[in-house]
Amino acid sequence: MIRLILAALLFLTGSPVLAHPLIIAHRGASGERPEHTRAAYELAIRQGADFIEPDLVMSRDGVLIVRHENEIGGTTDVAARPEFAGRRATKTVDGEPMTGWFTEDFTLVELKTLRARERLPELRPANTAFDGQEPILTFEEVLDIAASAGVGVAPELKHPTYFAALGLPMEDAFVTGLERRGLAGADAPVIVQCFEVGPLQRLRARIATPLLQLVAASGGPFDRPELSYAAMTTPGGLAEVAVYADWIGADTALIEPTPGDPTRLITDAHAAGLKVAGWTFRAENAFLPEGDRVGEAPAAHGRLRERLARFAGYGLDAAFMDQPGLARD
DSSP H helices in the chain? 2-13, 38-46, 108-111, 139-149, 160-165, 170-180, 198-206, 229-232, 235-241, 252-255, 265-271, 304-314, 324-328
Q: Which DSSP letter does residue 76 get?
A: B
- Does residue 27 contact residue 19 with C-beta atoms inside 8 Å? no
The total number of residues written for the chain in this structure:
329
What CA–CA distance (Å, rounded) separates 243 from 224? 16
Cis peptide before 280 (omega within 30 of 0): yes
- The residues facing 211 across adjacent strands are 192
The CA-CA-CA angle for residues 285, 286, 291, to 5°, reads: 50
Chain mean position to CA 177:
18
Catalytic choice (36, 68, 159, 301):
68
Catalytic choice (26, 36, 159, 301):
26
20 is catalytic: no
Pairing of strands 55-58, 64-66: antiparallel
- Does residue 29 contact residue 324 with C-beta atoms inside 8 Å? yes
26 is catalytic: yes
What are the residue numbers of the active site?
A: 26, 68
